[in-house]
A and B are shown apart, each in its own frame.
Chain A
Amino acid sequence: MAQNISAAPEQNIPFWRDERVLGVFAQIGFIIVVILGAKLLGTNFASNVNKLGESQFICRDGSFSYRCAYDFMGSEAGFDISDTALDYVNTDSYWYAFYMGLLNSLKVGLLGVILTTFVGLFVGIARLSSNWLVSKIALWYIELMRNTPLLLQLFFIYFGVLLALPLIQDASPVLGLPIFLTNRGLSIPAPKFMSAAAIWVAFLILGIIQFQVTWILLARQEEQTGRATNRWARGLIGFFIIVIAGWFISSSVSDTQGLLTSKASRIRDVGDIEKVMLNRTNLDYLDEIDTLSPEEVDAAALKICVLRDSASEPNLIRQIERIGAPYTVRRFDRPDQVTAAYVEGDCELFAASKAILAAERATLENPSAHLIVPVKESPIVWSVPRYDGTNIFGGSKLLPEFTALLIGLTIFYGATLAEIVRAGILSVSKGQSEAARALGLSESQRLRLVVLPQALKVIIPPLIGIFLSLMKDTSLGLAVGYPDMYQVTFTTMNQSGRAVQGILLLMVVYLTISLIFSIVLNWYNSRNVLVER
């Protein structure tokens, strides 16, 4: 290339005065210093490791090699994790336990990022409110968060607030909603996904594709005819038609849920329950059940047994409640316990997936006397927490550790983000707004088309930095005992005695996360630079 044409006729410059040679000397000198330093530390490390009896780097076959540093991760973890996203038992490997921890960290981190965005936007806009009180409250919130340590806030939320909540025995719904807040965590209604959900999601994707296609086609049509069409409405109508149709199709197609019941119960279908109940109560209509005394209702109630926290429960209950039949539910941890109760006669119906039921029916004395009734399933059932006086069932349960970490990170980083949002909006000069008004743009157009795009350019780069900090600070879960990646690794290090490997592993994962964030940031910046030109 052209640059390589050498400069000037080569004079004989003594090498100790040639800036190119001096540069290389400086570089090499620097490398030598670094290598010497590394060598000193490395020698110390090697000798210290030797003193520790080489146990850190022992291989399966008992030999010693640095290559085997991570072999121990394959062995049984032996500790429990209080909250996991996937099934985990303490006989799983350290690797798997670490994976569970990583998922927990990502869970807190991603939820934190979403909530922080909302809190930050809300408080940032409140800070700019024309109402003096609102803006001052936002200011004090921001100042309080920014001037006290995150750890103190976490401790305060965890020890001072969450663990000081009512005991589970005194649980009562919050604001009359099916939400329970006790010192064992927060129970909220949550969707449960049945097997039909997979089919329904396919319809969902189909709907989105349809929306896109409609959008593009209509846009082309608009260009050709020059007339505006309502792209939003037509796209959405198509989307909802597909999604709703998909809901019914997927629930009629999938057939994994069932009820185990004896032939004697005369229930051949979920719809038969109504007849059976009318028979039992001697009523003409189940609506008249109020006329019975509570004792009579209790006596007639269907005795249903389920596995704890299974999706089968809300799915069946929803259908039984539609019929209006009285029922009681007992929950067990393992299928064989349910079967035992079923044999005892404590349960009339055992609701679970057909696969489990078939296996359990095979264990019964006379399998042919029992049958498995199919239960219609919805793709998603809404599981609502219920309180029975001693315990809370159903819904989704957030541990106090998780809740404390999530709330702590959210309110702390929400305050930081609020300042950035405020600065971003203020950074758009008044002239821009005036120009927009002068052009006759409406207030919402002004915000949407002029102010926001410019403010976002200022907001997004520090925003990505905040998200990265939040991700890193999920490691504070250790302080409140939430089993995030950090805590799991820490337990691993304590149990196996392999501190160096554990720390290195953590570093690698955190650096990967931060690398991803910087790639996103660079991508955003470079794209923005192009747009500005």
Chain B
Amino acid sequence: MTAITESMTQKLNAAFEGRINWRYFLQDNVTGSWYLAVWVVVLAAATVAYTINQMNVAPLTTIIILILWLVGLGFAIANGLFKKRTAIGSWLKTNLLGSVSNAILSLLLVLILAAAVRGIWSWAVTNATFDPELTKPEFRNPDGATWGVIPGAWELLMVGRLDREALPRVQMALGYIVVLGVISIGANVAGYLKKIRPLRSILLGLWAITPIIVYILLAGVSAEGDFINSKTLLIGEAVVVGLFLLLWWQRTVKFSVVNLVIWAAAWPVAYLIWRAIGKSEMFPPINVATWGGLMLTIIIAVSVIILSFPLGMVLALGRRSEIRGIPGWLLWPVAAILALWGLFVSTPSILGDIRNQADYVLAFWPILILGFAYLLQKMFQGNVVAAASTTFIEVIRGAPLITLLFMAIIMAPFFLSEGATLENVWAVIIGYSLFSSAYMAENIRGGLQALPKGQFEAADSLGLNTFQKMRFIILPQALRIVIPAIVGQFIGSFKSSSLVAIVGLFELLGMVAVIVSNPQWLGLRKELFVFAGVIYFIGSAVMSWYSRRLEAQLGVGER
């Protein structure tokens, strides 16, 4: 026995002669430092224990993995010691079997992964049932998934409790977007967008009116009311023409009769088309409270990003605005007068009716006015616009989203004028958009800050006014910089729209709760969670992949 061992050692030594220095090898891999040694020993012990455990559970796979591991080790050794370079050997050596600890760790991880895959596979495939008819508790295999719930509850998952007669309209909306998307991407890839200018304008126009088309399809237009409402028409007209005049005054649009006519005609034409659709009863109103499932998730995510974008832009510009502030000599007297007025009028009345200690403090609230004035002067140089924007952004960012959602649902009715009502869906979308706009504002502000100061100065020195400077120089560049961040935010609102489930709207996750309380699908949470997870994962992963691509493109672009 000893002789055999000795001859083996000799043979080994001969084979490794001059190729390896055992002392250095040990020092590099095991005895280099005490924590390395402990790590290797612990790892080895855990691996041996786990291997034995797996041998009992699944001998065949474990043996295959062990053999593969040894073969790989052989490749790596051949690669490192005998200069027999193979692609697979090099890869294994750098990535998996580079050192003793790495080799052991790789084996342990492969074994654990194999066990995990086996477990998941047996639950999701081997023991699973797929028949939508066999989802009742008595037909289920307790060790496997009941995937039948997904085709069974498909419509609920997709559109919630929407009236099934309205399904064709959902399909039309989906079809419209898909067709438009395919055309746009196709034209972009084929390079037609740059060559044919009108095509680009047409596609942009179609995208611009998509929200309106989708609204008409999914929410419908009411036939009630007069065909022509002169009050609405006139107010709208005044707003449009006023906007035109403002832009003209700020020299961002040109004044010409043609321009004026186009602007002036836009509103009445749009209004009449709207009323015509309503009167024709082609798309009668749908109760938006029945929206649900993935459709609602997407509606919320998209509406939020569309609404929060302009608001966020206004907030960002407001926060960065360099309008001259109210000077101290004006601010302080006004604040002092207001504070004194409060101290003389309000304070005595509260002090006269003291109920507890807190009232003593409360009574002197007018002093706060001076505090605000101080903050305004100190932090914002008297710039109320910047102060208000900053306060709004920071307050919203300081509160959790569900506070805002609850606030929207619970408090919105308090702030509506008499007789007005607001569907929860709209309230949630508005609350969510306010929330999102604060984050959008910070993204856009990041873009503005990333612009070199020289761009502002060059625009100033050329004599552009503030409007022109923003419109032609600053915003086009800033927005381009923040596109990836905006896509990121869209992913965020796509995922976070799941929170509306907490406030009682039935988007994808909310629908899961509804479905699992149905006796037919009672308790099939895991399957539905996995399904929802896959949808979220694919959606988010695709978008973030796109955003990374976009980032790379913009990075090498025109700069």
Contacts and interface: CB of A to CB of B under 8 A. Distances in A.
A156 B529 contact: yes
A24 B327 contact: yes
Interface of A: 19-20, 22-24, 26-28, 30-31, 34, 40-41, 44-45, 47-49, 59-60, 67, 130-134, 137, 143-144, 146-152, 155-156, 159-160, 164, 472-473, 475-476, 478-479, 486, 490, 493, 499-500, 503, 506-507, 510-511, 513-515, 518
Contact of B496 (A133, A149, A514, A515): A149
Cβ-closest 8 pairs across A and B: A23-B324, A514-B398, A132-B95, A147-B540, A472-B400, A149-B495, A149-B498, A499-B410
Given A130-B98, A499-B411, A160 B495 contact: no
Given A48-B414, A511-B395, 10 more contacts: A23-B324, A26-B385, A48-B416, A67-B362, A143-B541, A148-B537, A149-B496, A156-B526, A475-B402, A515-B398
Nearest to B502: A479
Interface string B500-533: 0110000001001000000000000110010011
Contacts of B529: 152, 155-156, 159-160
Contacts of A518: 394
Interface string B176-215: 0000000000000000000000000000000000000000
> Which interface residue of B324, B415, B509 has the most chain A CB atoms within 10 A?
B324
A34 B389 CA distance: 11
Contact of A133 (B109, B394, B541): B109
Contacts of B267: none
Contacts of B499: 149, 151, 476
Interface in B359-414: 359, 362, 382-385, 388, 394-395, 397-400, 402-403, 406-407, 410-411, 413-414
B544 interface: yes
A134 B359 contact: no
Judged by DSSP, the binding face of A is helix
Contact of B383 (A27, A472, A490): A27
B324 A19 contact: yes
Nearest to A507: B399
Nearest to B494: A149
A475 B400 contact: yes
Interface string B38-54: 00000000000000000
A146 B498 contact: no
Contact of B540 (A23, A41, A60, A148): A148
Interface residues of B, number: 62
Nearest to B382: A27
B222 interface: no
Contacts of A155: 509, 512, 525, 529
B350 interface: yes
9 contacts: A30-B388, A44-B416, A133-B95, A133-B110, A159-B526, A490-B406, A493-B410, A499-B411, A500-B411
Contacts of A60: 355
A518 B379 CA distance: 15
Contact of B95 (A22, A131, A146, A486): A131
B330 interface: yes
Contact of A160 (B102, B324, B525): B525
B502 A147 contact: no
Nearest to B403: A506
Contacts of A26: 323, 385
B181 to A, nearest CB: 21
Contacts of B413: 48
Interface in B92-123: 94-96, 98, 102, 105-106, 109-110, 113
B418 interface: yes
A149 B536 contact: yes
B385 A132 contact: no
B152 interface: no
Contacts of A131: 95-96, 98, 102, 105-106
